[in-house]
Amino acid sequence: MKRGLFITFEGPEGAGKTTVIRAVAEHLRQQGYDVVRTREPGGTPIGDHIRAILLAPDNDTMHPETELLLFSAARAQHVRERILPALDRGAIVLCDRFADSTLAYQGYGRGLALDALYTITEFATGGLTPDLTILLDIDPAEGLARRRAAHAQGAEWNRIDNDEIALHQRVREGYLHLAAAHPERWVVIDASAPIEDVVAHVLAAIEARVQQQNA
Ligand code: Z5A
């Protein structure tokens, strides 16, 4: 059976991943593609239980190592229960965060050793790597301001939103570093632009990748 396309979306809080994925999924479905939208942490019932532990603001004594293993446990379940079956049937999987979030947050952000993160991630994913990763790049101060505005309208506020701004700056720099190291997989898009422009750039990047796969 033809393998589908695994596309991940990364970026600081409030970059617009959820909003963009929703618009892109609708566009691709209208074109007749089988599209699966999913997210991390989560994407499965077990993953959603782990998500609740990870993001509860009260769990503020969680150690970085515990956090790493919980994100990785949720990912191991997500890959096997949800992502691989969808790819095996030829779907386009749009995933809101994946293993690069672990490198950016637990690695560049919290300072855990990157070589350990690569080993644990390889084990959790069984070696699954995205075909395309979209980095929605934004100044964390602007992203967090968006999050605060959304929270005032009822959106949830989580434990990691509470982290110091310096962590979010290191996360952004980590992402830019990862993208520069693997330009064949990453596309960096300015997420401070109006949402219509961001969606148009993302669709162009996906269409280019689909054509490349079909060539
Ligand atoms: N995490 C980790 O540390 N390690 C890991 O391995 C993984 C994750 C997988 C998950 O939280 C947390 O877990 C996350 C990283 C960490 N850290 N935090 N916090 P989450 O899933 O709840 O949150 P998120 O992934 O960071 O998403 P988010 O904060 O909800 O942001 P978003 O999805 O990128 O943005 P949005 O919800 O689409 O938009 C936010 C607001 O901005 C909303 O009101 C939009 O209408 C508005 N928006 C969006 N785009 C625009 C533009 N272009 N202009 C103006 N306004 C806009």
The two most distant CA atoms of the chain are separated, in Å, by 51
Q: Phi and psi (nearest 5°) for 75?
A: -70, -40
Nearest atom (ligand 1) to Cα of 21: 38
Q: How far apart are CA 114 and CA 120, in angstroms?
A: 10
pLDDT, average across residues 73-80: 98
Q: Which atom of ligand 1 is nearest to the CA of 161?
A: 19
- The DSSP bridge partners found for residue 7 are 94, 132
> What is the arithmetic mean of pLDDT over 100-123?
98
- What pLDDT does 2 receive? 54
Q: Determine the 3-state secondary structure of 189 from DSSP.
A: strand
Percent of the chain clearing pLDDT 90 (strictly above): 92
pLDDT in tens, 123-145: 999 999 999 999 999 999 999 99
Contacts 24+ apart (CB under 8 A), 206-213: 206/7, 206/24, 206/28, 206/92, 206/132, 209/5, 209/7, 209/131, 209/132, 210/5, 210/92, 213/5, 213/131
Q: Whose CA is nearest to atom 25 of ligand 1?
A: 13
pLDDT in tens, 152-190: 999 988 898 888 999 999 999 999 999 999 999 999 999
Residue 69: the pLDDT is 98
pLDDT computed for residue 181 by the predictor: 98
Q: Report CA(17)–ligand 1 centroid distance (Å).
A: 6
Q: What is the pLDDT of residue 1?
A: 40
Can you read off the two tokens belonging to residue 168?
């979010």
Q: Is the pLDDT of residue 5 over 70?
A: yes
- Ligand 1 binding pocket, CB closer than 6 Å: 11, 13-19, 40-41, 55, 71, 96-97, 101-102, 105-106, 146-147, 150, 158, 160-161, 191, 194-195, 198
Pair of tokens at residue 78:
């997500």
Atom of ligand 1 nearest to the CA of 40: 9
Tens-place pLDDT, residues 7-50: 999 999 999 999 999 999 999 999 999 999 999 999 999 999 99
Give me the mean pLDDT over the 87-108 stretch: 98
Residue 134, beta-bridge partner list: 9, 187
| pLDDT band, very low/low/confident/very high, at 213 (cuts 50, 70, 90) | confident
Mean confidence (pLDDT) of the chain: 96
Percent pLDDT > 70 in the chain is 99
Residue nearest to atom 37 of ligand 1 (CA): 18
Residue nearest (by alpha carbon) to ligand 1 atom 24: 13
